[in-house]
């Protein structure tokens, strides 16, 4: 018997969370071994470690509590990785030496796998005087380019992907350039960017007043507040960035406002953190806690919820002591405040199971009630930990209870904190859960609505063949098991068909009882009116959200897979068929946007070929390595070696250029044709009875031979064995749907969820 309810869940576990050695041999034979490994590691700091290991295992069992990916993959492995997901780095000094000290710290953090956030508002604006060197400042964006290059270098070295967040205050003199930075799709690819929006700025926008841009106490420019707001809105309308962070609200509601000031968040925005702040994440799987799903007594088991939350809080608190940290300043910050980020996943599925339509007033009210139950249980569990182990070192009862978030907490919880203290300064957060949600049986992600109730994916088998499997949402699978092919009720809605206002309503309902923030995407239709789009952000501000992230399909970011606007039938779910050898879409006729490079695994299959060019003393050795993408072998990189140093420079350049093209995916057969067409005016050569016009043509012929042998090309002088044009069909509507390729598996299953492009087929996420 397997614990996995869907094949994709087991595949995600094997690819991402199963502990394997450097040779790929598995230490975790089963998912139970993974749970035991995590439970043992997190219980290791307990006095009675055997007792707590068993309790932690019970919480993990059947995917009820889902520690974030870094804990699931790293705990108990002995690897030099951090178990923390989120870091905000130290304040960037306005000096060249200080800036590059911060760059070094960022590199060390990313090397261990942490996603980082930075506030670039502290760097003087472009054109400002630099004393002592008779020069003008290059401004914060120029240094963001340096950070971007560093992140790209770290990732190319094989480290786990870790994204970055850059923030800038709405009153910084370079804010207009910051807003426009992502209009260039090739710039700042490793950054998410967000504007720190203040309450006075929002009041100026509503009053149609002026707004001063300042640095170092000096007013450098005055603009119309509404014009600046419209710039922000137009940028995110056109290319999905920057996001908006309501920074004054975050600081006002922070339990630790008395001892820290926040100016940045982690890459997905759910963790506002102070300088060197760090947070670990985990999620309660609400979909596993519904009793009698779709039945007359359907409801969330709140007793089981309270017990699970208490165990999860203790487990996460232990991670603070068990984890490594890239920097000592991060370790100190974490241990002084013991921040954790306990959130949820499977909310939309749980609402479906109790008969509620996501986005309705009833669903919002139920969400608020569930999140309050989690907050109460978490805070009371942390109080009990404080009685046993002590409060966090910077705890000050009077100041803590006077903070914005604690003022709304129930009086019995406040009284318990006043008497016993609290172990963790902040406890709740809703993080992106795309990958762990797949691992848990394809439950809905975080507090997001269901994106698609079913879709098809192609799976590579051990014999090289491909099979097609249906990936079904967890709640839909439960419905099928109970009612067979009965049509899904009308309250089954998806992310595409919801009005943006319904998205915001759900975010605001959850935010009331989340003491950090929420990672959520508000999906907007491509044809939404610009004024209506702006109203989404104003609604988010007015209803108490701490930030807002929208996604509207556009030419720069591409489109995402569409699904039926009608409620799909269980027996006729939307079928999404993607030819995984597809070329990237071309938004404009005169510009070709290439996909992100495919990721390189630690091992590749390949072949080496020898060319002996007549008249040359030394042979050329050509190695072509292949990547398996969704069942296809495709060329990934080329190496050319020879003892003939005369050709060294051009062979190195050639291999780098060809490999760079191969790693972009799509139809790369043109490389063969271009090489084979090169004519050497000094004359070619006869090789094996065939005239070859140049040594470059010979290289092209070898690469073509390899592509044919691996099934990538149909034959000599022929194109791809399969059509490279993406054929993505949503059969429920009969309309074609555009899609972006996944840079990890090559499929066209990319979706914008929780503020991050995420692949539904393999779980890859841009944000780590």
Catalytic residues: 266, 268, 270
Instruction: Judge contact between 568 and 574, C-beta under 8 A.
Output: yes
Q: What six digits make up the tokens of 611?
A: 């060319």
What is each CA distance from 404 to 116, 254, 271, 513, in whole angstroms? 26, 7, 17, 12
Cα 590 from chain centroid (whole Å): 31
Largest CA distance in the chain: 92
Q: In degrees to the nearest 10, what's the CA dihedral of 738, 742, 746, 749?
A: -50
Q: Give the integer Cα–Cα distance in Å for 633 and 631.
A: 7
- C-beta of residue 350 within 8 angstroms of C-beta of residue 286: yes
Q: Phi-psi category of 81—alpha, beta or left, where left has phi over 0 and alpha has psi -120 to 50? A: beta
- Is 738 in a helix, a strand, or coil? coil
CB atoms within 10 A of CB 643: 11
Q: Are 515 and 426 in contact (CB under 8 A)?
A: yes
Nearest of 719, 725, 720, 758 to residue 633 by alpha carbon: 720
Structure token digits, residue 729: 């069909």
**Nearest one of 476, 541, 537, 544 to 509, comparing CA atoms:** 544
Structure tokens at 104: 């070094």
- What's the chain's length in residues? 768
Distance CA 295, CA 292 (A): 5
Residue 692, C-beta contacts closer than 8 angstroms, at least 6 positions apart: 684, 685, 686, 698, 701
Per-residue tokens: 309? 């939350």
Residue in 214, 229, 226, 339 with CA at minimum distance from that of residue 274: 339
CA distance 564 to 587: 23
Distance in angstroms (rounded) separating the CA atoms of residues 657 and 651: 10
Helix (H), strand (E) at residue 342:
strand 340-345
Q: Which residue has the tokens 């020069």?
A: 135
Burial 593-611 (b: 16+ CB within 10 A, else e): bbbbbbebeeeeebeebeb
DSSP 292-326: STTSTT-EE-HHHHHHHHHHHHHHHHHHHHH-B-S
Q: Is 233 helix (H, G, I), strand (E, B) or coil?
A: helix
Question: Quick one: which of 226, 198, 195 has its CA closest to 210?
Answer: 226
Cis upstream peptide for 242 (omega within 30°)? yes
**Contact (Cβ atoms closer than 8 angstroms) between residue 347 and residue 367:** yes
């Amino acid at each position: 018997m397997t614990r996995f309810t869907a094949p994709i869940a087991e595949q995600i576990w094997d690819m991402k969370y199963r502990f394997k050695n450097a040779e790929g041999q598995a230490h975790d034979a089963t998912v139970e071994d993974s749970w035991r490994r995590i439970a043992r590691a997190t219980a290791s700091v307990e006095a009675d470690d055997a007792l707590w290991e068993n309790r932690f295992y019970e919480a993990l069992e059947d995917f009820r509590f889902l520690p974030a990916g870094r804990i699931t993959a790293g705990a108990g492995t002995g690897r030099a990785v951090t178990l923390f997901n989120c870091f905000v780095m130290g304040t960037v000094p306005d000096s060249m030496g200080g800036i590059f000290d911060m760059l070094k710290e960022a590199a060390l953090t990313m090397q261990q796998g942490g996603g980082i956030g930075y506030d670039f508002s502290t760097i003087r604006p472009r054109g400002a005087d630099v004393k002592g060197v008779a020069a003008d400042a290059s401004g914060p964006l120029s240094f963001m380019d340096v950070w971007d290059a560093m992140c790209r270098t770290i990732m190319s070295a094989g480290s786990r992907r870790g994204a970055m967040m850059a923030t800038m205050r709405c009153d910084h003199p370079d804010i207009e350039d910051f807003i426009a930075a992502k209009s260039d799709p090739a710039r700042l690819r490793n950054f998410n960017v967000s504007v720190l929006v203040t309450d006075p700025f929002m009041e100026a926008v509503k009053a149609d007043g002026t707004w001063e841009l300042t640095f170092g106490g000096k007013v450098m420019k005055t603009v119309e507040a509404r014009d600046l707001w419209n710039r922000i809105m137009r940028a995110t309308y056109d290319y999905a960035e920057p996001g908006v962070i309501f920074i004054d609200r975050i600081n006002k509601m922070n339990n630790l406002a008395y001892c820290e000031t926040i100016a940045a968040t982690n890459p997905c925005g759910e963790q506002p953190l102070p300088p060197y702040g760090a947070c670990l994440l985990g999620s309660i799987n609400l979909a596993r806690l519904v009793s009698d799903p779709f039945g007359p007594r359907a409801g969330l088991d709140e007793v089981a919820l309270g017990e699970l939350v208490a165990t999860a809080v203790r487990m996460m608190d232990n991670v603070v002591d068990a984890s490594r940290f890239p920097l000592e300043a991060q370790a100190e910050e974490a241990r002084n405040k013991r921040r954790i980020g306990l959130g949820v996943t499977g909310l939309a599925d749980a609402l479906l199971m109790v008969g509620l339509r996501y986005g309705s007033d009833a669903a919002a009210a139920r969400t608020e009630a569930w999140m309050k139950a989690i907050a109460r249980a978490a805070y009371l569990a942390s109080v009990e930990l404080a009685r046993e182990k002590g409060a966090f070192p910077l705890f000050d009862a009077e100041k803590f209870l006077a903070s914005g978030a604690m003022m709304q907490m129930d009086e019995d919880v406040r009284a318990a904190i006043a008497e016993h203290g609290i172990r963790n300064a902040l406890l709740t957060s809703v993080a992106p859960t795309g990958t762990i949600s797949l691992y848990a049986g394809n439950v809905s992600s975080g507090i997001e609505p269901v994106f698609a109730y079913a879709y098809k994916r192609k799976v590579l088998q051990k014999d090289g063949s491909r099979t097609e499997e249906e990936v079904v949402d967890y709640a839909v699978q439960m419905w099928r098991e109970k009612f067979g092919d009965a049509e899904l009720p009308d309250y089954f809605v998806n992310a595409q068909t919801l009005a943006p206002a319904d998205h915001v309503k759900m975010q605001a309902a959850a935010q009331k009882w989340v003491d950090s923030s929420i990672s959520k995407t508000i999906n907007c239709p491509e044809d939404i009116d610009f004024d209506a789009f702006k109203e989404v952000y104003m609604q988010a501000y007015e209803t108490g959200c701490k930030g807002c992230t929208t996604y509207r399909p556009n030419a720069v970011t591409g489109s995402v897979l569409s699904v039926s606007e009608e409620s799909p039938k269980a027996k006729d779910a939307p079928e999404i068929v993607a030819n995984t050898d597809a070329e990237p879409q071309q938004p404009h006729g005169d510009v070709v946007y290439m996909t992100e490079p495919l990721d390189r695994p630690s091992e590749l299959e390949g072949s080496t070929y020898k060319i002996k060019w007549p008249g040359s003393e030394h042979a050329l050795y050509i190695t072509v390595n292949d990547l398996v993408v969704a069942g296809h072998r495709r060329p990934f990189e080329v190496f050319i070696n020879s003892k003939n140093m005369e050709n060294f420079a051009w062979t190195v350049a050639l291999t780098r250029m060809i490999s760079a093209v191969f790693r972009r995916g799509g139809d790369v057969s043109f490389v063969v044709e271009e090489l084979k067409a090169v004519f050497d005016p000094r004359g070619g050569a006869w090789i094996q009875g065939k005239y070859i016009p140049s040594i470059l043509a010979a290289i092209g012929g070898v690469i073509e031979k390899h592509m044919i042998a691996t099934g990538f090309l149909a034959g000599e002088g022929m194109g791809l064995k399969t059509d490279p044009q993406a054929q993505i069909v949503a059969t429920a509507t009969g309309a074609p749907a555009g899609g972006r390729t996944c840079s990890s598996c090559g499929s066209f299953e990319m979706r914008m969820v929780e503020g991050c492009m995420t692949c539904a087929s393999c779980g890859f996420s841009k944000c780590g």
